[in-house]
Amino acid sequence: MGKPPLLIKRFVKNSDKNLNKTKMNKKNLLLLPLVFILFSMKSDKPAYKLFQANGKEVKYKKLLTTAKDADIVFFGEFHNNPICHWLELELTQDIYNFKKTQLVLGAEMIEANDQEVLDEYLNEEIDAETFEQEAELWKNYKTDYKPLVEFAKTNHLRFIATNIPRKFASLVNKKGFEGLDTLSWEEKSFIAPLPIKYDPELPGYKSMIEMMKDMPHVTANIAKAQAIKDATMAYFILKNWTKGKTFIHYNGSYHSNNYEGIIWYLQQSNPELKIITIAAAEQKSVKPLARENKNLANFILVTPETMTKTY
């Protein structure tokens, strides 16, 4: 624990003197609980803190109250952060208590061409082993995303596989949007309708190119590959949302940070949607919110840089 704070040392010293003369001063007795409460607060190590966009710290209740009344909730995660995955499940369970069957779940981590096999599993037409063998699931599915799928299955909720098949995103990375023209009608059913809108001046896409410009074989198509993912996820979210429902979408934080990415595409189709965003951030200390993390989203989930990773 280290050396005791000066306040405690002075208290102990004064108490010893008082005991030698007479009984402990009543004022010191009242001070003792406060001293140790302050000391325990100072030494606390919270696993996370929540902030609003402006950097004001808020409680989980504020997040829940806001999210339950949204049309679309974007939970932007770090894929290997256990606090993100834990809070995704907690928030989903708590929103369900308000919305019941008016809740829809969806995720970047399951691709659109696996929707059929996912539906078969949710409807108990196949078992978990068959689903997990046939679907192209992420390596951390069992630890991080399976609890969400199981929650949907148990409570008879729809779970939407929103992402473009990775091989089609890779095709865009190699050949640009033009590469998608070679797809069959069936293959095109797993992506947003073509042609998609694309704004290369969006800060998120520009910064992606800048960050990766020194990597081999990286061109402007890297941002186009990101855009076709964003457009496809927006398309399947909107396709499976109806007024009165809340759609919770789990995705990498970069896909919804700064109200860009998926959100930009949603707003092209329906600017009236009530959208709430959560962004993930890691800091050396969980508070205060660092300047560079302000305004990333409506709510920013901050965890320590030393947080254990799931992979």
Domain residue spans in the chain? 6-42, 49-304
Separation between Cα atoms, residue 158 and residue 260, nearest integer Å? 25
Q: Residue 22 pLDDT > 50, yes or no?
A: no
Give the mean pLDDT of 72-100. 98
Q: Residue 28 pLDDT > 90, yes or no?
A: no
Give the helix/strand (H/E) hosting 90. Answer: helix 82-99
- Helix or strand or coil: residue 265? helix
The one-character DSSP state at 116 is: H
Give the helix/strand (H/E) hosting 271. Answer: none
Q: Residue 27 pLDDT > 90, yes or no?
A: no
Of 19-28, 74-83, 107-116, 270-279, least confident by mean pLDDT is: 19-28
Q: Residue 32 pLDDT > 80, yes or no?
A: no
Give the helix/strand (H/E) hosting 150. Answer: helix 146-154
Separation between Cα atoms, residue 28 and residue 105, nearest integer Å? 56
Q: Residue 239 pLDDT > 50, yes or no?
A: yes
What's the chain's average pLDDT? 90
Give the mean pLDDT of 219-223. 88
The domain made up of 49-304 has a fold known as Rossmann fold (3.40.50)
Write down the pTM of the prediction.
0.86
Over the stretch 183-219, which tens digit does the pLDDT of each residue have?
Answer: 999 999 999 999 999 999 999 999 998 888 778 777 8
pLDDT of residue 219: 80
pLDDT of residue 31: 53
Closest CA to 113 of 172, 174, 168: 168
Closest CA to 82 of 269, 304, 288, 232: 304
Of 66-70, 97-101, 176-180, 208-212, least confident by mean pLDDT is: 208-212
Of 13-22, 184-193, 225-234, least confident by mean pLDDT is: 13-22
- Cβ pair 240, 247 in contact under 8 A: yes
pLDDT band at residue 240 using 50, 70 and 90 as cut-offs = very high
Task: Determine what percent of the chain is predicted with pLDDT higher than 90.
Answer: 82
Distance of alpha carbon 230 from the chain centroid: 15
Measured at the CA of 237, the angle between CA 227 and CA 225, to 5 degrees, comes to 15
